Amino acid sequence: MRIGIKYCGGCNESYKREMIEEILKRELKNCQFFYSNNADLIVCISGCKKGCAAEKVSGNFVHFDEWVGENKVLTKIKTKLSELLRS
Amino acid sequence: MMNGKQYIESLRKLKPRIYFMGRKIESVADDPVLAPHVNAAAMTYELAFDPRYEDIITATSHLTGEKINRFTHIHQSTEDLVKKVRMLRLLGQKTGSCFQRCVGCDAINALYITSYDIDKKYGTEYHERVKEYIKYVQKEDLMPAGAMTDVKGDRSKRPSQQVDKDLYVRIVEKREDGIIVRGAKAHITGAVNSHEIIVMPTRALEADEKEYAVAFAVPVDAEGVTMIFGRQTNDLRRLDGDVDCGNAKYATVGGEALIIFEDVFVPWERVFMCGEYDFASQLVEVFATFHRQNYGGCKVGVADVLIGATANVAEMQGIAKAPHVIDKITEMIHLAETCWCCSLACSYEGYKTPSGAYMPNPLLANVTKLNITRFPYEWSRLAQDVTGGIVITLPSEKDYRNPETRKLIDKYLKGVADVPTEHRIRMIRLVENLSIGAELPESMHGAGSPQAQKIMIARRSNLEMKKEMAKIIAGIKPDEHFKRIRGISEEEFFSKLK
Ligand SMILES: Cc1cc2nc3c(=O)[nH]c(=O)nc-3n(C[C@H](O)[C@H](O)[C@H](O)COP(=O)(O)OP(=O)(O)OC[C@H]3O[C@@H](n4cnc5c(N)ncnc54)[C@H](O)[C@@H]3O)c2cc1C
């Protein structure tokens, strides 16, 4: 599975956005990661509720705009991945 | 696009004539006093290659369709204007300093908008020249300095009335291949580490002042250009190590220079205004609007660092939980975010100009900058209050490095037990750097002194309309809505009470 990571510009982030990328790379060893929209799943990482990272994204994506804790990050991604695998 | 390292390398290829402290600077990129300013500008290049930031640091050129650094972009929407101030806040946070590149960005945008209007009135070809120049700046990812402020001599006199005619930059000769210019521009941010200098008039001009109505671009090392780099409070601390200056990597404020043009030749393709005196005030106002828009971005990014430093000092000195300290830090945040609101508001309220480029709302941009002439003084005052007298009485780094005195400093300047004394010293030096030195006058005068904003605010605020509103509410003028609400006139309604 190809995962594209799309960050917002990070002008005034309310949490350390990189934490999400680190978790994904650590836990999803079978996936390949790119900084590109050309992917099976795009993970949009916004630093705040304005949600700039997801503004112009379409297709299969998940969006984080606040820190929800490691477990919730993984659950959200894994749910989306299994949805994609089923379809 | 260039990255940070490539930008620094690009400076080594230029040969500008720069003086500082009585000596000629051999390499801007490598001189220990200038290098921190170079590093701050380099951040504007480096973040364009970082996926975490590229969404705001890069843009798509409307001229070529290429991906470019946003500092070379002509704003095509209010979203672009918003992204610009987001980019400035981010860079303020990453450098804790002025990264200098906004002035050139504002200059190309102001020229783009104004040259279009000049051409429309006079059938000139400035706009095409400006477009070609911008394409060049975008392709090479250049940093032009924006040089507007003339040295001005006797402020009570117009350019044409000065005893010395060269106190405002002027055209001294028009030739077949270009023009010759003479004069000087003061306080020019990042000039010494720019690739180009864009010159614009500094004020409204009259019909007998056509020679002063000149805008152009030259390389920093053009023949006849000399720069004298300005002194800043504590600048030579940079030679003493990495502690005393507070921000050893990125310095403070932009690093400003006096630029002298001694009969400099400018080829026609780089001349963007030549005698159109009636457009000087528009160019100044458009540039000033863009530049005043910025300050609730960059200064707030720098304030974020100062707020963080103050909170760290409070923790390191054991006062972080005191209610008045919490209140003071919250007040600093409130002041900073108020300025941020202003920058966002003037950007979201921006509009499309006849050229197709967007500019911020001028009234709100001036309000943004006027707040910046005040609020940083207040947030600095609060930072100094929380930090204590030590903010100006710390021993020097040299004494800290001297084993004889280090152990005494380590023991007696300790704050809370688990924080090394050196950390406390570094944090206090950062507060000093951000709240005492060049930062404050920069807030006052950069992008224009307060009076310049007051004039614009007065001109743009539609006071007549407000007087009219007051007359309607006070019952001096008829209120059409009241009549509709009550079905009878005000006179009839109130006659019952009389
Ligand atoms: C750190 C820093 C960076 C800067 N960077 C740039 C830059 O990159 N590019 C650029 O072009 N400029 C730059 N400037 C210049 C800035 O725009 C000017 O400092 C500002 O416009 C004020 O001009 P001045 O410094 O000459 O002060 P002055 O014009 O001398 O103003 C001093 C006082 O005199 C008053 N005054 C001036 N003229 C009159 C008058 N005719 N009647 C009554 N009162 C008057 C002013 O209101 C003010 O109170 C920078 C300034 C600073 C401090």
Tell me the chain B residues in contact with residue A52 when contact means C-beta distances shorter than 8 Å: 55-56
Chain A / chain B CB contacts < 8 angstroms: 40
Per-residue pLDDT of B55-113, as tens digits, reads 999 999 999 999 999 999 999 999 999 999 999 999 999 999 999 999 999 999 999 99
Question: B122: pLDDT confidence band, cut at 50, 70 and 90?
Answer: very high
Residues B243, A81: Cα–Cα separation, whole Å: 49
Question: Ligand 1 pocket: which of B187, B294, B374 to mutate (most atoms <8 Å of CB)?
Answer: B187
What's the confidence (pLDDT) of residue B498?
85
Query: Tokens 């007549």 belong to which residue?
Result: B464
Smallest CA–CA distance from B58 into chain A, residue:
A9
A85: phi then psi, degrees, rounded to nearest 5: -65, -35
pTM summary value? 0.96
Q: How much of chain B exceeds pLDDT 90, in percent?
A: 99
Q: Cβ neighbours of residue A6 under 8 Å, at least 6 residues apart?
A: A35, A37, A42, A43, A44, A45, A53, A54, A57, A61, B55
Residues B146, B161: Cα–Cα separation, whole Å: 25
Q: From the CA of B349, how far away is ligand 1's center (Å)? A: 27
What's the confidence (pLDDT) of residue A87?
84
What's the confidence (pLDDT) of residue B359?
98
Pair B188, B197: CB distance under 8 Å: yes
Tell me the chain B residues in contact with residue A12 when contact means C-beta distances shorter than 8 Å: 86, 89-90, 93, 304, 340
- Identify whether B189 is a catalytic site residue: yes
Positive or negative, the CA dihedral B309, B314, B315, B316 is positive
Residues B58, B54: Cα–Cα separation, whole Å: 5
Pair B177, B267: CB distance under 8 Å: yes
Closest partner CB to B51 (pick from A12, A35, A52): A35
Per-residue pLDDT of B273-310, as tens digits, reads 999 999 999 999 999 999 999 999 999 999 999 999 99
- Range of A64's domain? 2-86
Helix (H) or strand (E) holding B264: strand B256-267
Both structure tokens of B91:
């860079």
Q: From the CA of B394, how far away is ligand 1's center (Å)? A: 33
Q: How far is CA B411 from CA B179, B192, B308, B399, B414, in A?
A: 66, 43, 25, 14, 6
Residues B112, B137: Cα–Cα separation, whole Å: 13
Residues B357, B103: Cα–Cα separation, whole Å: 17
Judge whether residue B121 has pLDDT over 90. yes
Q: From the CA of B357, how far away is ligand 1's center (Å)? A: 27
| Contact flag A7-B51 (C-beta cutoff 8 Å) | yes
Residues B475, B146: Cα–Cα separation, whole Å: 51
What's the confidence (pLDDT) of residue A37?
87
Mean pLDDT of B389-394: 97
Mean pLDDT of B415-438: 97
Positive or negative, the CA dihedral B43, B392, B424, B379 is negative
What are the residue ranges of helices labelled H in B96-124? Answer: 102-122
With CA atoms as reference, report the closest residue to B303 among B328, B277, B275, B335.
B335
* Chain A residues bordering chain B (beta-carbon distance below 8 Å): 5-12, 17-18, 35, 52-53
Residues B46, B36: Cα–Cα separation, whole Å: 15
Angle between helices B421-435 and B375-387 (to 10 degrees): 160
With CA atoms as reference, report the closest residue to B213 among B191, B190, B186, B183.
B183
Q: From the CA of B114, how far away is ligand 1's center (Å)? A: 22
Mean pLDDT of B355-359: 98
Low-confidence residues of chain A, pLDDT below 50?
A: none
CATH fold group of domain B283-459: Butyryl-CoA Dehydrogenase, subunit A; domain 3 (1.20.140)
Residues A24, B63: Cα–Cα separation, whole Å: 38
Both structure tokens of B286:
């458009």
The three-point CA angle B318-B89-A33 to 5° equals: 100
What's the confidence (pLDDT) of residue B187?
98
Question: B437: pLDDT confidence band, cut at 50, 70 and 90?
Answer: confident
Pair B285, B67: CB distance under 8 Å: no
What are the residue ranges of helices labelled H in B317-402? Answer: 323-348, 362-372, 375-387, 397-401
Tell me the chain A residues in contact with residue B52 when contact means C-beta distances shorter than 8 Å: 7, 10, 17-18
The CA R_g of chain A, rounded to the nearest whole Å, is 12
Beta bridge partners of B189: B256
What's the confidence (pLDDT) of residue B37?
98
List, chain by chain if needed, residues with CB within 6 Å of any ligand 1 atom: B 103, 146-149, 152, 155-156, 187-189, 253-254, 256, 441-442, 445-449, 451
Question: B460: pLDDT confidence band, cut at 50, 70 and 90?
Answer: very high
Per-residue pLDDT of B214-246, as tens digits, reads 999 999 999 999 999 999 999 999 999 999 999
Query: Is any Cβ of chain A less than 8 angstroms from the Cβ of B89?
Result: yes
What's the confidence (pLDDT) of residue B215?
98
Q: Cβ neighbours of residue A46 under 8 Å, at least 6 residues apart?
A: A8, A17, A52, A53, A54, A63, A64, A65
Query: Tokens 């250049």 belong to which residue?
Result: B142
| Averaged pLDDT of chain B | 97
Mean pLDDT of B131-160: 98
DSSP state of B395: P
What's the confidence (pLDDT) of residue B368?
98
Task: Tell me the three state secondary structure of residue B6.
Answer: helix
Judge whether residue B267 has pLDDT over 90. yes
Per-residue pLDDT of B185-207, as tens digits, reads 999 999 999 999 999 999 999 99
Residues B216, B115: Cα–Cα separation, whole Å: 11
With CA atoms as reference, report the closest residue to B104 among B219, B172, B196.
B196
Q: Where exactly does CATH 1.20.140.10 map onto chain B?
A: 283-459
Both structure tokens of B48:
């364009």
Helix (H) or strand (E) holding A20: helix A18-27
Q: Cβ neighbours of residue B302 under 8 Å, at least 6 residues apart?
A: B92, B93, B95, B96, B97, B98, B434, B439
Q: Based on the structure, what is the number of domains in chain A? A: 1
With CA atoms as reference, report the closest residue to B374 among B308, B449, B428.
B449
